[in-house]
Structure 1
Amino acid sequence: MIRQRNGLDAAAVVVGAASVPVGAALGATIFPFVGPAGVVALRQAFTALILLGVTRPRLRRLGWASVRPAIALGGVLVVMNLSVYAAVERIGLGPAVTLEFLGPLALALLASRRRLDLACAVVAGAGVVLLTGSVPGIDPLGILLGLTAAAAWAGYILLSQRAGRTLPGLQGTAIASLVAAVLTSPILVLTLVSLAPHEVALVLAIGAAAAVLSSALPYSIDLVVLRRMPRQRFGVLQSVHPAAAAIAGLVVLGETLSLWQVAGLVLVTLANAVAVGVAPGRPPAPQAARPEVTQAPRHPEPAH
Protein backbone atom coordinates (compact mmCIF):
# COMPACT_ATOMS: atom_id res chain seq x y z
CA MET A 1 0.00 0.00 0.00
CA ILE A 2 2.82 2.39 0.89
CA ARG A 3 4.68 1.48 -2.29
CA GLN A 4 1.54 2.14 -4.35
CA ARG A 5 1.06 5.52 -2.66
CA ASN A 6 4.69 6.44 -3.29
CA GLY A 7 4.23 5.56 -6.95
CA LEU A 8 1.11 7.71 -7.17
CA ASP A 9 2.91 10.59 -5.48
CA ALA A 10 5.79 10.35 -7.95
CA ALA A 11 3.37 10.26 -10.87
CA ALA A 12 1.56 13.30 -9.50
CA VAL A 13 4.82 15.25 -9.21
CA VAL A 14 5.74 14.40 -12.80
CA VAL A 15 2.26 15.46 -13.96
CA GLY A 16 2.59 18.73 -12.08
CA ALA A 17 6.06 19.40 -13.48
CA ALA A 18 4.91 18.55 -17.01
CA SER A 19 1.84 20.79 -16.76
CA VAL A 20 4.01 23.91 -16.33
CA PRO A 21 5.51 23.88 -19.87
CA VAL A 22 2.18 22.76 -21.32
CA GLY A 23 0.64 25.92 -19.88
CA ALA A 24 3.53 27.94 -21.27
CA ALA A 25 3.06 26.34 -24.69
CA LEU A 26 -0.62 27.20 -24.68
CA GLY A 27 0.24 30.75 -23.73
CA ALA A 28 2.65 30.93 -26.66
CA THR A 29 -0.19 30.15 -29.07
CA ILE A 30 -1.65 33.62 -28.45
CA PHE A 31 1.63 35.48 -29.00
CA PRO A 32 0.27 36.73 -32.37
CA PHE A 33 -2.63 38.39 -30.53
CA VAL A 34 -1.05 39.76 -27.35
CA GLY A 35 2.71 39.09 -27.46
CA PRO A 36 4.76 37.60 -24.61
CA ALA A 37 4.06 40.53 -22.27
CA GLY A 38 0.32 40.19 -22.80
CA VAL A 39 0.46 36.47 -21.99
CA VAL A 40 2.36 37.22 -18.78
CA ALA A 41 -0.18 39.86 -17.76
CA LEU A 42 -3.08 37.47 -18.40
CA ARG A 43 -1.41 34.63 -16.54
CA GLN A 44 -0.58 36.82 -13.54
CA ALA A 45 -4.11 38.19 -13.35
CA PHE A 46 -5.75 34.76 -13.39
CA THR A 47 -3.15 33.28 -11.02
CA ALA A 48 -3.76 36.08 -8.53
CA LEU A 49 -7.53 35.56 -8.72
CA ILE A 50 -7.17 31.81 -8.16
CA LEU A 51 -4.68 32.00 -5.29
CA LEU A 52 -6.39 34.89 -3.52
CA GLY A 53 -9.67 33.01 -3.74
CA VAL A 54 -8.09 29.89 -2.25
CA THR A 55 -5.92 31.43 0.48
CA ARG A 56 -7.88 34.61 1.31
CA PRO A 57 -4.99 36.30 3.13
CA ARG A 58 -6.05 38.90 5.69
CA LEU A 59 -3.89 41.72 4.42
CA ARG A 60 -4.95 44.20 7.10
CA ARG A 61 -3.63 41.94 9.85
CA LEU A 62 -0.24 41.41 8.24
CA GLY A 63 2.63 43.70 9.15
CA TRP A 64 5.03 45.30 6.71
CA ALA A 65 7.89 43.03 7.82
CA SER A 66 5.75 39.97 7.01
CA VAL A 67 4.70 40.99 3.53
CA ARG A 68 7.90 42.71 2.35
CA PRO A 69 9.55 39.47 1.07
CA ALA A 70 6.33 38.56 -0.76
CA ILE A 71 6.20 42.01 -2.37
CA ALA A 72 9.78 41.64 -3.57
CA LEU A 73 8.87 38.15 -4.77
CA GLY A 74 6.12 39.64 -6.91
CA GLY A 75 8.62 41.87 -8.68
CA VAL A 76 10.91 38.89 -9.33
CA LEU A 77 7.96 36.93 -10.75
CA VAL A 78 7.35 39.66 -13.30
CA VAL A 79 10.99 39.67 -14.41
CA MET A 80 11.13 35.88 -14.54
CA ASN A 81 7.96 35.40 -16.54
CA LEU A 82 8.52 38.29 -18.94
CA SER A 83 12.04 37.10 -19.72
CA VAL A 84 11.17 33.42 -20.16
CA TYR A 85 8.15 34.13 -22.39
CA ALA A 86 10.21 36.54 -24.48
CA ALA A 87 12.88 33.83 -24.74
CA VAL A 88 10.25 31.31 -25.84
CA GLU A 89 9.24 33.64 -28.66
CA ARG A 90 12.85 33.96 -29.87
CA ILE A 91 14.46 30.53 -29.34
CA GLY A 92 11.58 28.14 -28.65
CA LEU A 93 10.06 26.57 -25.55
CA GLY A 94 12.49 23.70 -24.98
CA PRO A 95 15.71 25.77 -25.08
CA ALA A 96 14.14 28.64 -23.11
CA VAL A 97 12.94 26.42 -20.25
CA THR A 98 16.23 24.50 -20.18
CA LEU A 99 18.19 27.74 -19.85
CA GLU A 100 15.78 28.93 -17.14
CA PHE A 101 16.35 25.65 -15.30
CA LEU A 102 20.00 26.62 -14.84
CA GLY A 103 18.97 29.03 -12.08
CA PRO A 104 17.96 26.50 -9.41
CA LEU A 105 20.62 24.08 -10.66
CA ALA A 106 23.32 26.71 -10.14
CA LEU A 107 22.11 27.32 -6.60
CA ALA A 108 22.19 23.59 -5.90
CA LEU A 109 25.77 23.39 -7.13
CA LEU A 110 26.89 26.53 -5.29
CA ALA A 111 25.55 25.08 -2.03
CA SER A 112 28.10 22.26 -2.23
CA ARG A 113 31.87 21.88 -2.30
CA ARG A 114 31.93 18.34 -3.65
CA ARG A 115 33.94 17.37 -6.71
CA LEU A 116 30.87 15.61 -8.05
CA ASP A 117 29.00 18.91 -8.15
CA LEU A 118 31.87 20.53 -10.03
CA ALA A 119 31.54 17.74 -12.57
CA CYS A 120 27.79 18.40 -12.73
CA ALA A 121 28.48 22.07 -13.44
CA VAL A 122 30.81 21.12 -16.29
CA VAL A 123 28.22 18.72 -17.72
CA ALA A 124 25.49 21.38 -17.48
CA GLY A 125 27.77 23.91 -19.17
CA ALA A 126 28.43 21.47 -22.00
CA GLY A 127 24.69 20.97 -22.30
CA VAL A 128 24.13 24.69 -22.69
CA VAL A 129 26.82 24.88 -25.37
CA LEU A 130 25.17 22.07 -27.32
CA LEU A 131 21.71 23.51 -26.81
CA THR A 132 22.58 26.98 -28.07
CA GLY A 133 25.90 26.82 -29.93
CA SER A 134 24.83 24.03 -32.25
CA VAL A 135 22.12 26.17 -33.89
CA PRO A 136 23.40 28.50 -36.63
CA GLY A 137 21.93 31.96 -36.31
CA ILE A 138 20.25 31.36 -32.95
CA ASP A 139 19.00 34.60 -31.47
CA PRO A 140 21.58 35.79 -28.88
CA LEU A 141 18.97 38.01 -27.22
CA GLY A 142 16.80 34.94 -26.73
CA ILE A 143 19.69 33.20 -24.97
CA LEU A 144 20.28 36.25 -22.78
CA LEU A 145 16.59 36.37 -21.89
CA GLY A 146 16.66 32.69 -20.96
CA LEU A 147 19.64 33.27 -18.68
CA THR A 148 17.88 36.30 -17.19
CA ALA A 149 14.94 34.04 -16.39
CA ALA A 150 17.38 31.61 -14.75
CA ALA A 151 18.79 34.35 -12.53
CA ALA A 152 15.26 35.46 -11.66
CA TRP A 153 14.26 31.89 -10.78
CA ALA A 154 17.25 31.72 -8.43
CA GLY A 155 16.20 35.03 -6.89
CA TYR A 156 12.68 33.70 -6.61
CA ILE A 157 13.85 30.72 -4.57
CA LEU A 158 15.82 32.95 -2.21
CA LEU A 159 12.84 35.23 -1.65
CA SER A 160 10.50 32.24 -1.50
CA GLN A 161 12.32 30.97 1.56
CA ARG A 162 12.04 34.33 3.29
CA ALA A 163 8.35 34.69 2.42
CA GLY A 164 7.67 31.14 3.59
CA ARG A 165 9.15 31.98 6.98
CA THR A 166 6.94 35.00 7.55
CA LEU A 167 3.68 33.87 5.92
CA PRO A 168 1.98 30.48 6.29
CA GLY A 169 0.96 28.15 3.46
CA LEU A 170 0.41 29.77 0.08
CA GLN A 171 -0.26 33.26 1.43
CA GLY A 172 3.18 34.43 0.31
CA THR A 173 2.51 33.19 -3.22
CA ALA A 174 -0.95 34.79 -3.26
CA ILE A 175 0.42 38.18 -2.20
CA ALA A 176 3.34 37.90 -4.64
CA SER A 177 0.93 37.03 -7.44
CA LEU A 178 -1.24 40.01 -6.51
CA VAL A 179 1.79 42.31 -6.68
CA ALA A 180 2.79 40.82 -10.03
CA ALA A 181 -0.75 41.26 -11.33
CA VAL A 182 -0.79 44.90 -10.25
CA LEU A 183 2.60 45.55 -11.87
CA THR A 184 1.45 44.01 -15.15
CA SER A 185 -2.08 45.48 -15.05
CA PRO A 186 -1.23 48.33 -17.47
CA ILE A 187 -0.06 45.72 -19.97
CA LEU A 188 -3.25 43.75 -19.39
CA VAL A 189 -5.45 46.77 -20.02
CA LEU A 190 -3.59 47.74 -23.20
CA THR A 191 -3.70 44.13 -24.36
CA LEU A 192 -7.45 43.72 -23.91
CA VAL A 193 -8.24 47.11 -25.42
CA SER A 194 -6.21 46.31 -28.53
CA LEU A 195 -8.01 43.03 -29.21
CA ALA A 196 -10.78 42.67 -31.74
CA PRO A 197 -14.09 41.70 -30.09
CA HIS A 198 -14.04 38.18 -31.54
CA GLU A 199 -10.53 37.57 -30.14
CA VAL A 200 -11.27 38.43 -26.51
CA ALA A 201 -12.95 35.14 -25.53
CA LEU A 202 -10.16 33.02 -27.03
CA VAL A 203 -7.40 35.05 -25.41
CA LEU A 204 -9.08 35.02 -21.98
CA ALA A 205 -9.73 31.27 -22.16
CA ILE A 206 -6.13 30.44 -23.06
CA GLY A 207 -4.82 32.87 -20.44
CA ALA A 208 -6.93 31.14 -17.80
CA ALA A 209 -5.78 27.70 -18.96
CA ALA A 210 -2.14 28.78 -18.82
CA ALA A 211 -2.63 30.05 -15.26
CA VAL A 212 -4.25 26.80 -14.13
CA LEU A 213 -1.72 24.50 -15.81
CA SER A 214 1.38 26.52 -14.93
CA SER A 215 0.31 27.65 -11.47
CA ALA A 216 -2.79 26.32 -9.70
CA LEU A 217 -2.45 22.63 -10.61
CA PRO A 218 1.28 22.17 -9.88
CA TYR A 219 1.04 24.25 -6.68
CA SER A 220 -1.75 22.05 -5.35
CA ILE A 221 0.11 18.86 -6.21
CA ASP A 222 3.30 20.10 -4.57
CA LEU A 223 1.49 21.14 -1.42
CA VAL A 224 -0.04 17.68 -0.95
CA VAL A 225 2.85 15.50 -2.08
CA LEU A 226 5.62 17.30 -0.19
CA ARG A 227 3.95 16.35 3.08
CA ARG A 228 4.93 12.73 2.38
CA MET A 229 7.71 12.68 -0.21
CA PRO A 230 11.38 13.27 0.69
CA ARG A 231 12.55 16.61 -0.71
CA GLN A 232 15.54 14.99 -2.38
CA ARG A 233 13.36 12.66 -4.44
CA PHE A 234 11.04 15.52 -5.26
CA GLY A 235 13.98 17.52 -6.59
CA VAL A 236 15.08 14.65 -8.84
CA LEU A 237 11.58 14.36 -10.31
CA GLN A 238 11.69 18.07 -11.15
CA SER A 239 14.33 17.15 -13.73
CA VAL A 240 11.52 16.39 -16.17
CA HIS A 241 11.03 20.14 -16.75
CA PRO A 242 13.36 20.50 -19.79
CA ALA A 243 12.14 17.29 -21.44
CA ALA A 244 8.50 18.19 -20.82
CA ALA A 245 9.11 21.61 -22.33
CA ALA A 246 10.66 20.08 -25.45
CA ILE A 247 7.71 17.70 -25.85
CA ALA A 248 5.15 20.46 -25.24
CA GLY A 249 6.95 22.66 -27.76
CA LEU A 250 6.79 19.86 -30.34
CA VAL A 251 3.16 18.83 -29.75
CA VAL A 252 1.54 22.22 -29.13
CA LEU A 253 3.78 24.59 -31.11
CA GLY A 254 5.33 22.29 -33.71
CA GLU A 255 8.86 23.18 -32.56
CA THR A 256 11.63 20.68 -33.26
CA LEU A 257 15.11 20.37 -31.78
CA SER A 258 18.24 19.13 -33.49
CA LEU A 259 19.99 16.02 -32.20
CA TRP A 260 22.70 18.22 -30.68
CA GLN A 261 20.09 20.29 -28.87
CA VAL A 262 18.42 17.16 -27.55
CA ALA A 263 21.83 16.00 -26.31
CA GLY A 264 22.33 19.34 -24.58
CA LEU A 265 18.94 19.13 -22.94
CA VAL A 266 19.72 15.61 -21.70
CA LEU A 267 23.04 16.76 -20.22
CA VAL A 268 21.40 19.60 -18.28
CA THR A 269 18.71 17.22 -17.01
CA LEU A 270 21.30 14.62 -16.02
CA ALA A 271 23.39 17.22 -14.19
CA ASN A 272 20.34 18.26 -12.17
CA ALA A 273 19.32 14.69 -11.33
CA VAL A 274 22.82 13.81 -10.12
CA ALA A 275 23.35 17.07 -8.20
CA VAL A 276 20.03 16.74 -6.38
CA GLY A 277 19.75 12.97 -6.09
CA VAL A 278 23.27 12.14 -4.94
CA ALA A 279 23.51 14.45 -1.97
CA PRO A 280 24.99 12.74 1.09
CA GLY A 281 25.83 14.92 4.03
CA ARG A 282 24.13 18.12 2.94
CA PRO A 283 20.61 19.51 2.74
CA PRO A 284 18.51 18.73 -0.34
CA ALA A 285 19.11 21.01 -3.26
CA PRO A 286 16.67 23.84 -3.96
CA GLN A 287 14.99 22.30 -6.99
CA ALA A 288 12.07 21.48 -4.74
CA ALA A 289 10.86 25.02 -5.33
CA ARG A 290 8.90 25.68 -8.49
CA PRO A 291 8.47 29.10 -10.02
CA GLU A 292 5.69 30.99 -8.32
CA VAL A 293 5.15 28.48 -5.50
CA THR A 294 5.85 29.67 -1.99
CA GLN A 295 5.62 27.15 0.79
CA ALA A 296 7.19 26.71 4.17
CA PRO A 297 10.97 26.39 3.69
CA ARG A 298 11.90 22.82 2.84
CA HIS A 299 15.53 23.19 3.91
CA PRO A 300 17.98 25.96 4.78
CA GLU A 301 18.24 26.52 1.04
CA PRO A 302 20.17 29.36 -0.57
CA ALA A 303 17.47 29.59 -3.16
CA HIS A 304 10.47 28.75 -9.14
Structure 2
Amino acid sequence: MTETTPSAAAGKAGGAATLVASALSNQLGAATASLAFPVIGPVGVVAVRQLVAAAVLLPLVRPRLRDLAWRQWWPVLLLAVSFGTMNLGLYASVQRIGLGLAVTLEFLGPLAVALASSRHKTSALCAVAAAAGVVAITNPEASTDFVGIGFGLVAACSWAAYILLNRVVGQRTLGIQGTAAATGVSATLFLPVAVVIFLSQPVDGFTVLCAVAAGILASVLPYVADLVALRRVPASLFGILMSINPVFAAIIGALALRQELAPVQWVGIGLIVAANAGVLLLRRSR
Protein backbone atom coordinates (compact mmCIF):
# COMPACT_ATOMS: atom_id res chain seq x y z
CA MET A 1 0.00 0.00 0.00
CA THR A 2 1.43 3.35 -1.06
CA GLU A 3 1.14 6.48 1.00
CA THR A 4 0.54 9.91 -0.44
CA THR A 5 3.33 12.32 0.48
CA PRO A 6 2.54 15.93 1.42
CA SER A 7 4.22 17.16 -1.76
CA ALA A 8 2.17 14.77 -3.91
CA ALA A 9 -1.04 15.82 -2.16
CA ALA A 10 -0.14 19.48 -2.65
CA GLY A 11 0.59 18.81 -6.32
CA LYS A 12 -2.74 17.06 -6.75
CA ALA A 13 -4.58 19.93 -5.04
CA GLY A 14 -2.76 22.42 -7.24
CA GLY A 15 -3.70 20.42 -10.32
CA ALA A 16 -7.34 20.34 -9.26
CA ALA A 17 -7.32 24.11 -8.69
CA THR A 18 -5.76 24.58 -12.14
CA LEU A 19 -8.57 22.54 -13.73
CA VAL A 20 -11.24 24.59 -11.98
CA ALA A 21 -9.53 27.77 -13.22
CA SER A 22 -9.39 26.27 -16.71
CA ALA A 23 -13.14 25.57 -16.69
CA LEU A 24 -13.86 29.09 -15.44
CA SER A 25 -11.65 30.62 -18.15
CA ASN A 26 -13.35 28.49 -20.80
CA GLN A 27 -16.85 29.64 -19.87
CA LEU A 28 -15.82 33.28 -19.45
CA GLY A 29 -14.41 33.00 -22.96
CA ALA A 30 -17.71 31.67 -24.29
CA ALA A 31 -19.60 34.48 -22.55
CA THR A 32 -17.20 37.05 -24.00
CA ALA A 33 -17.62 35.51 -27.45
CA SER A 34 -21.39 36.00 -27.27
CA LEU A 35 -20.86 39.77 -27.01
CA ALA A 36 -19.42 39.73 -30.55
CA PHE A 37 -22.31 37.74 -32.06
CA PRO A 38 -24.45 40.79 -33.01
CA VAL A 39 -21.71 42.06 -35.35
CA ILE A 40 -19.80 39.08 -36.78
CA GLY A 41 -21.98 36.17 -35.67
CA PRO A 42 -20.84 32.81 -34.30
CA VAL A 43 -18.99 31.98 -37.52
CA GLY A 44 -16.86 35.12 -37.30
CA VAL A 45 -16.06 34.54 -33.64
CA VAL A 46 -15.05 30.93 -34.29
CA ALA A 47 -12.83 32.06 -37.17
CA VAL A 48 -11.02 34.56 -34.94
CA ARG A 49 -10.77 32.00 -32.13
CA GLN A 50 -9.15 29.42 -34.43
CA LEU A 51 -6.69 31.99 -35.77
CA VAL A 52 -5.71 33.09 -32.25
CA ALA A 53 -5.22 29.50 -31.11
CA ALA A 54 -3.02 28.72 -34.12
CA ALA A 55 -1.01 31.93 -33.72
CA VAL A 56 -0.10 30.91 -30.17
CA LEU A 57 0.19 27.13 -30.48
CA LEU A 58 2.08 26.70 -33.76
CA PRO A 59 5.15 28.80 -32.78
CA LEU A 60 5.33 26.99 -29.44
CA VAL A 61 5.06 23.43 -30.77
CA ARG A 62 6.49 23.87 -34.28
CA PRO A 63 5.04 20.64 -35.71
CA ARG A 64 7.07 19.01 -38.47
CA LEU A 65 4.32 18.89 -41.06
CA ARG A 66 6.53 17.54 -43.85
CA ASP A 67 7.42 14.48 -41.78
CA LEU A 68 3.79 13.40 -41.35
CA ALA A 69 2.68 10.39 -43.40
CA TRP A 70 -0.86 9.93 -44.72
CA ARG A 71 -1.76 7.58 -41.83
CA GLN A 72 -0.95 10.51 -39.55
CA TRP A 73 -2.47 13.21 -41.72
CA TRP A 74 -5.99 11.82 -42.11
CA PRO A 75 -6.83 11.81 -38.37
CA VAL A 76 -5.24 15.26 -38.09
CA LEU A 77 -7.52 16.58 -40.86
CA LEU A 78 -10.59 14.99 -39.27
CA LEU A 79 -9.56 16.42 -35.90
CA ALA A 80 -9.37 19.90 -37.46
CA VAL A 81 -12.88 19.50 -38.91
CA SER A 82 -14.32 18.21 -35.63
CA PHE A 83 -12.69 21.07 -33.73
CA GLY A 84 -14.28 23.63 -36.05
CA THR A 85 -17.75 22.06 -36.06
CA MET A 86 -17.64 21.67 -32.28
CA ASN A 87 -17.05 25.39 -31.75
CA LEU A 88 -19.48 26.41 -34.47
CA GLY A 89 -22.21 24.20 -33.05
CA LEU A 90 -21.62 25.47 -29.53
CA TYR A 91 -21.61 29.17 -30.38
CA ALA A 92 -24.62 28.86 -32.69
CA SER A 93 -26.42 27.10 -29.84
CA VAL A 94 -25.33 29.74 -27.31
CA GLN A 95 -26.76 32.44 -29.57
CA ARG A 96 -30.18 30.77 -29.64
CA ILE A 97 -30.70 29.05 -26.26
CA GLY A 98 -28.12 30.63 -23.95
CA LEU A 99 -24.74 29.69 -22.51
CA GLY A 100 -25.75 27.31 -19.71
CA LEU A 101 -28.04 25.07 -21.76
CA ALA A 102 -25.75 25.03 -24.81
CA VAL A 103 -22.67 24.01 -22.82
CA THR A 104 -24.65 21.35 -20.96
CA LEU A 105 -25.87 19.84 -24.24
CA GLU A 106 -22.32 19.92 -25.62
CA PHE A 107 -21.17 18.07 -22.52
CA LEU A 108 -23.23 15.08 -23.62
CA GLY A 109 -20.39 14.32 -26.06
CA PRO A 110 -17.72 13.29 -23.56
CA LEU A 111 -20.44 11.72 -21.40
CA ALA A 112 -21.44 9.48 -24.33
CA VAL A 113 -17.80 8.45 -24.83
CA ALA A 114 -17.48 7.64 -21.13
CA LEU A 115 -20.71 5.62 -21.16
CA ALA A 116 -19.66 3.71 -24.28
CA SER A 117 -16.35 2.71 -22.73
CA SER A 118 -17.85 1.74 -19.36
CA ARG A 119 -18.76 -1.91 -18.76
CA HIS A 120 -20.26 -1.36 -15.33
CA LYS A 121 -23.96 -2.24 -15.09
CA THR A 122 -24.63 0.78 -12.92
CA SER A 123 -23.65 2.98 -15.88
CA ALA A 124 -27.14 2.35 -17.26
CA LEU A 125 -28.53 4.38 -14.35
CA CYS A 126 -26.16 7.21 -15.28
CA ALA A 127 -27.44 7.08 -18.85
CA VAL A 128 -31.04 7.29 -17.62
CA ALA A 129 -30.12 10.26 -15.39
CA ALA A 130 -28.47 12.00 -18.34
CA ALA A 131 -31.51 11.40 -20.54
CA ALA A 132 -33.78 12.81 -17.83
CA GLY A 133 -31.45 15.80 -17.62
CA VAL A 134 -31.74 16.43 -21.36
CA VAL A 135 -35.55 16.37 -21.16
CA ALA A 136 -35.46 18.74 -18.19
CA ILE A 137 -33.19 21.37 -19.76
CA THR A 138 -34.77 21.28 -23.23
CA ASN A 139 -38.34 21.26 -21.86
CA PRO A 140 -39.92 20.13 -25.18
CA GLU A 141 -42.99 22.15 -26.13
CA ALA A 142 -44.32 24.18 -29.07
CA SER A 143 -42.12 27.21 -28.28
CA THR A 144 -38.91 25.20 -27.80
CA ASP A 145 -35.98 26.32 -29.96
CA PHE A 146 -35.23 22.94 -31.51
CA VAL A 147 -32.71 24.49 -33.91
CA GLY A 148 -30.64 25.77 -30.98
CA ILE A 149 -30.91 22.36 -29.31
CA GLY A 150 -29.83 20.75 -32.56
CA PHE A 151 -26.74 22.95 -32.73
CA GLY A 152 -25.90 21.94 -29.16
CA LEU A 153 -26.18 18.26 -30.08
CA VAL A 154 -23.97 18.84 -33.14
CA ALA A 155 -21.39 20.31 -30.75
CA ALA A 156 -21.78 17.23 -28.52
CA CYS A 157 -21.22 14.80 -31.40
CA SER A 158 -18.23 16.84 -32.58
CA TRP A 159 -16.72 16.82 -29.08
CA ALA A 160 -17.12 13.04 -28.89
CA ALA A 161 -15.41 12.71 -32.28
CA TYR A 162 -12.71 15.13 -31.10
CA ILE A 163 -11.95 12.93 -28.07
CA LEU A 164 -11.74 9.74 -30.13
CA LEU A 165 -9.65 11.35 -32.88
CA ASN A 166 -7.31 12.89 -30.32
CA ARG A 167 -6.52 9.38 -29.09
CA VAL A 168 -5.62 8.28 -32.61
CA VAL A 169 -3.56 11.41 -33.27
CA GLY A 170 -1.77 11.02 -29.95
CA GLN A 171 -0.84 7.43 -30.82
CA ARG A 172 0.46 8.28 -34.29
CA THR A 173 2.28 11.58 -33.76
CA LEU A 174 4.98 12.73 -31.38
CA GLY A 175 3.89 14.71 -28.34
CA ILE A 176 1.27 17.29 -29.19
CA GLN A 177 2.45 17.91 -32.75
CA GLY A 178 -0.69 16.35 -34.20
CA THR A 179 -2.97 18.60 -32.14
CA ALA A 180 -0.95 21.67 -33.13
CA ALA A 181 -1.12 20.63 -36.79
CA ALA A 182 -4.90 20.21 -36.53
CA THR A 183 -5.16 23.69 -35.03
CA GLY A 184 -3.19 25.09 -37.97
CA VAL A 185 -5.39 23.29 -40.50
CA SER A 186 -8.55 24.56 -38.80
CA ALA A 187 -7.21 28.12 -38.78
CA THR A 188 -6.35 27.83 -42.49
CA LEU A 189 -9.89 26.71 -43.29
CA PHE A 190 -11.39 29.61 -41.35
CA LEU A 191 -9.00 32.29 -42.65
CA PRO A 192 -11.00 33.00 -45.86
CA VAL A 193 -14.17 33.13 -43.76
CA ALA A 194 -12.63 35.73 -41.45
CA VAL A 195 -11.42 37.81 -44.41
CA VAL A 196 -14.86 37.82 -46.06
CA ILE A 197 -16.67 38.72 -42.81
CA PHE A 198 -14.29 41.53 -41.87
CA LEU A 199 -14.25 43.03 -45.38
CA SER A 200 -17.99 42.77 -46.02
CA GLN A 201 -19.09 44.85 -43.03
CA PRO A 202 -17.72 47.44 -40.61
CA VAL A 203 -16.35 45.78 -37.49
CA ASP A 204 -15.67 47.89 -34.39
CA GLY A 205 -12.75 47.47 -32.02
CA PHE A 206 -14.90 46.15 -29.18
CA THR A 207 -16.11 43.26 -31.33
CA VAL A 208 -12.57 42.35 -32.36
CA LEU A 209 -11.41 42.58 -28.75
CA CYS A 210 -14.21 40.25 -27.60
CA ALA A 211 -13.43 37.71 -30.34
CA VAL A 212 -9.70 37.74 -29.59
CA ALA A 213 -10.36 37.51 -25.85
CA ALA A 214 -12.60 34.50 -26.52
CA GLY A 215 -9.72 32.82 -28.35
CA ILE A 216 -7.37 33.42 -25.44
CA LEU A 217 -9.81 32.58 -22.63
CA ALA A 218 -11.51 29.60 -24.29
CA SER A 219 -8.61 28.08 -26.26
CA VAL A 220 -5.12 29.16 -25.23
CA LEU A 221 -5.41 29.39 -21.43
CA PRO A 222 -7.50 26.20 -20.95
CA TYR A 223 -5.17 24.26 -23.24
CA VAL A 224 -2.06 25.26 -21.27
CA ALA A 225 -3.84 24.78 -17.93
CA ASP A 226 -5.06 21.30 -18.87
CA LEU A 227 -1.57 20.22 -19.93
CA VAL A 228 -0.17 21.39 -16.60
CA ALA A 229 -2.98 19.80 -14.59
CA LEU A 230 -2.75 16.40 -16.33
CA ARG A 231 0.79 16.04 -14.98
CA ARG A 232 -0.54 16.30 -11.43
CA VAL A 233 -3.95 14.62 -11.39
CA PRO A 234 -5.15 11.26 -12.77
CA ALA A 235 -7.22 11.23 -15.93
CA SER A 236 -10.33 10.09 -14.04
CA LEU A 237 -10.17 13.09 -11.69
CA PHE A 238 -9.58 15.32 -14.71
CA GLY A 239 -12.84 14.13 -16.25
CA ILE A 240 -14.79 14.55 -13.02
CA LEU A 241 -13.53 18.10 -12.48
CA MET A 242 -14.41 18.97 -16.08
CA SER A 243 -18.01 18.30 -15.08
CA ILE A 244 -18.02 21.72 -13.48
CA ASN A 245 -18.09 23.38 -16.93
CA PRO A 246 -21.90 23.30 -17.35
CA VAL A 247 -22.32 24.66 -13.82
CA PHE A 248 -19.96 27.57 -14.48
CA ALA A 249 -21.67 28.20 -17.82
CA ALA A 250 -25.11 28.37 -16.21
CA ILE A 251 -23.92 30.68 -13.42
CA ILE A 252 -22.01 33.02 -15.77
CA GLY A 253 -24.93 33.03 -18.20
CA ALA A 254 -27.34 34.01 -15.42
CA LEU A 255 -25.12 36.64 -13.79
CA ALA A 256 -23.28 38.21 -16.73
CA LEU A 257 -25.64 37.65 -19.66
CA ARG A 258 -29.00 37.73 -17.83
CA GLN A 259 -29.88 34.28 -19.18
CA GLU A 260 -31.96 33.03 -16.28
CA LEU A 261 -32.93 29.37 -16.13
CA ALA A 262 -36.03 27.72 -14.72
CA PRO A 263 -35.59 25.53 -11.62
CA VAL A 264 -36.27 22.38 -13.66
CA GLN A 265 -33.44 23.33 -16.03
CA TRP A 266 -31.03 23.66 -13.11
CA VAL A 267 -32.11 20.19 -12.07
CA GLY A 268 -31.41 18.93 -15.59
CA ILE A 269 -27.91 20.41 -15.55
CA GLY A 270 -27.29 18.75 -12.19
CA LEU A 271 -28.45 15.37 -13.51
CA ILE A 272 -26.10 15.49 -16.51
CA VAL A 273 -23.14 16.62 -14.38
CA ALA A 274 -23.89 13.88 -11.82
CA ALA A 275 -24.20 11.27 -14.58
CA ASN A 276 -20.77 12.15 -15.94
CA ALA A 277 -19.15 12.13 -12.52
CA GLY A 278 -20.87 8.82 -11.71
CA VAL A 279 -19.60 7.09 -14.85
CA LEU A 280 -16.04 8.27 -14.25
CA LEU A 281 -16.13 7.24 -10.58
CA LEU A 282 -17.35 3.76 -11.59
CA ARG A 283 -14.50 3.42 -14.07
CA ARG A 284 -12.04 4.60 -11.44
CA SER A 285 -13.31 2.00 -8.94
CA ARG A 286 -12.72 -0.76 -11.47
TM-score range, shorter chain: over 0.9
2:136 is matched with 130
1:264 is matched with 268
Change (3 A) 1:168 1:248: farther
CA contact (8 A) 2:115 2:123 kept: yes
Counterpart selection for 1:102 from 104, 108, 116: 108
| DSSP 3-state at the match of 2:159 | helix
Query: Alpha-carbon deviations, 1:81-111, whole Å to 9, x = none?
Result: 1111111111111111100100110111111
Counterpart selection for 2:248 from 244, 248, 253: 244
Percent of residue pairs identical: 44
Relative to its length, the structure with more helix (as a share) is 2
CA contact (8 A) 1:91 1:138 kept: no
Hey, what's the Cα distance between the residues in 1 that align with 2:227 and 2:42? 29
CA contact (8 A) 2:136 2:268 kept: yes
| DSSP 3-state at the match of 1:115 | coil
Query: Alpha-carbon deviations, 1:53-87, whole Å to 9, x = none?
Result: 21111222322322221111001111111111111
Hey, what's the Cα distance between the residues in 2 that align with 1:30 and 1:40? 11
2:228 is matched with 224
* Structure 1 unaligned regions, length at least 5: 283-304
Q: Aligned ranges for residues 13-52 of structure 1 at < 5 Å?
A: 13-52=19-58
Hey, what's the Cα distance between the residues in 2 that align with 1:135 and 1:85? 23
Counterpart selection for 1:64 from 49, 65, 70: 70
2:175 is matched with 169
| DSSP 3-state at the match of 2:143 | coil
2:85 is matched with 79
What one-letter code is carried by the residue in structure 2 that aligns with 1:243?
V
Bigger relative contact order, structure 1 or 2, given CA contacts below 8 A and separation 6+?
Answer: 2
Matched length: 280
Hey, what's the Cα distance between the residues in 2 that align with 1:249 and 1:135? 23
Change (3 A) 1:76 1:158: same
Hey, what's the Cα distance between the residues in 2 that align with 1:48 and 1:203? 20
How far is the alpha carbon of 1:281 from its aligned partner? Answer: 6.2
How far is the alpha carbon of 1:238 from its aligned partner? Answer: 0.7
Hey, what's the Cα distance between the residues in 1 that align with 2:145 and 2:21? 31
1:210 is matched with 214
2:153 is matched with 147
Hey, what's the Cα distance between the residues in 2 that align with 1:135 and 1:230? 42
| DSSP 3-state at the match of 1:114 | coil
Hey, what's the Cα distance between the residues in 2 that align with 1:195 and 1:62? 39
2:4 pairs with 1:4: no
How far is the alpha carbon of 1:135 from its aligned partner? Answer: 7.1
Query: Alpha-carbon deviations, 1:10-43, whole Å to 9, x = none?
Result: 1111111221121111011010010111111111
Hey, what's the Cα distance between the residues in 2 that align with 1:162 and 1:230? 20
2:277 pairs with 1:273: yes
Hey, what's the Cα distance between the residues in 2 that align with 1:229 and 1:169? 19
Query: Alpha-carbon deviations, 1:223-281, whole Å to 9, x = none?
Result: 12212211111111111011011122123322111111001001100111111122256
* Structure 2 unaligned regions, length at least 5: 1-5
CA contact (8 A) 1:97 1:146 kept: yes
Query: Alpha-carbon deviations, 1:161-183, whole Å to 9, x = none?
Result: 11111222322221111111122
